[in-house]
Amino acid sequence: MKEVERLRALIFERTGIAVDEKDPMMAVLVASTQQAEEVGTRLLRRIAPVRVVLASSATALLFAAIASWTTWHVAQGEAATERAEWLRQQADPRVSAILRSDQGRAGLRLAELRVASLLANCSGRASWRVSAGYCIPMTADGKPDGFSVAA
């Protein structure tokens, strides 16, 4: 009988319709509710936590494999593009001559250390000078204002 009262209260809350507890529709609703609860209980019994964990793990592994495969192919494409650019530069006799020279290798090493642009900017200005590994600019009042080039 408690189930009938609970259903009547729920129907009244949701719809505003008061249903008599002896109404045949209430018997159908009670039977339907009991069947739904029974089906839900059976479904919950079938679901084991181990199965849920295994299914979640398998799904996560699948998505991780797809992401790894995609990342690998993107990286391979970028490496192929960089190699093609390098081969194109090597085909230019001027660039290959520069890279074979001592100054070219030194410039490449300075570029790898991210110092080349600092040196190029420093030596490109008349008011700046390099002294003992320092770029020394002049301030507005003509005094030197230096900072270290060494990393």
In the prediction, which pLDDT does 16 show?
Answer: 74
CA 104 to chain centre: 38
The predicted-structure confidence for 115-129, as pLDDT tens digits, reads as follows: 766 666 666 555 666
CB-based contact 150:133 (threshold 8 Å): yes
In the DSSP assignment, the letter for residue 146 is: -
Please tell me the pTM assigned to this model. 0.34
Confidence class of residue 73 from pLDDT cuts 50, 70 and 90? very high
Q: Which of 12-16, 37-41, 101-105, 125-129 has the lowest mean pLDDT?
A: 125-129
Confidence class of residue 71 from pLDDT cuts 50, 70 and 90? very high
| 111 closest CA partner among 120, 98, 124, 102 | 120
CB-based contact 120:114 (threshold 8 Å): no
Confidence class of residue 95 from pLDDT cuts 50, 70 and 90? confident
Is the per-residue pLDDT at 151 higher than 60?
Answer: no
In the prediction, which pLDDT does 115 show?
Answer: 72
